[in-house]
Amino acid sequence: SELCCWLGMIIVQSATLPTTVSVLLGYSDKLPPISMVLLVCAGLALYFVRAFKNKDVLYMVSNGFGFFVNTILLALIVFPWG
């Protein structure tokens, strides 16, 4: 069951990776709405606080990674480059 949780975390948190990578590599200029990214970041931050309090390593890794990737998306939206 732990393996299923880790695999599920990888799948869910990698949902924003195709968008991030395609923008960073210049394949696309389509970004999600800023409101969506802000809400996802806020939710991930709150989940991380809970995971930290409960010492849940799986969710700390998952939400930390998700927050990092979504912060990159947010930076690309707010500070466009290219």
Residue 27 DSSP symbol: S
Better-scored residue on pLDDT, 16 or 62: 62
pLDDT at residue 82, as a whole number: 58
The structure's pTM equals 0.66
Q: What is the mean pLDDT of the chain?
A: 82
Catalogue the long-range contacts made by 70-75 (C-beta closer than 8 Å, 24 or more residues apart). Answer: 70/16, 70/37, 70/40, 70/41, 70/44, 71/41, 72/20, 72/24, 73/16, 73/19, 73/20, 73/23, 73/31, 73/32, 73/37, 74/34, 74/37, 74/38, 74/41
Distance CA 30, CA 17 (A): 13
In this predicted model, what pLDDT tens digit does every residue of 38-60 receive, in sequence order?
A: 887 888 888 888 889 999 998 88
pLDDT at residue 52, as a whole number: 92
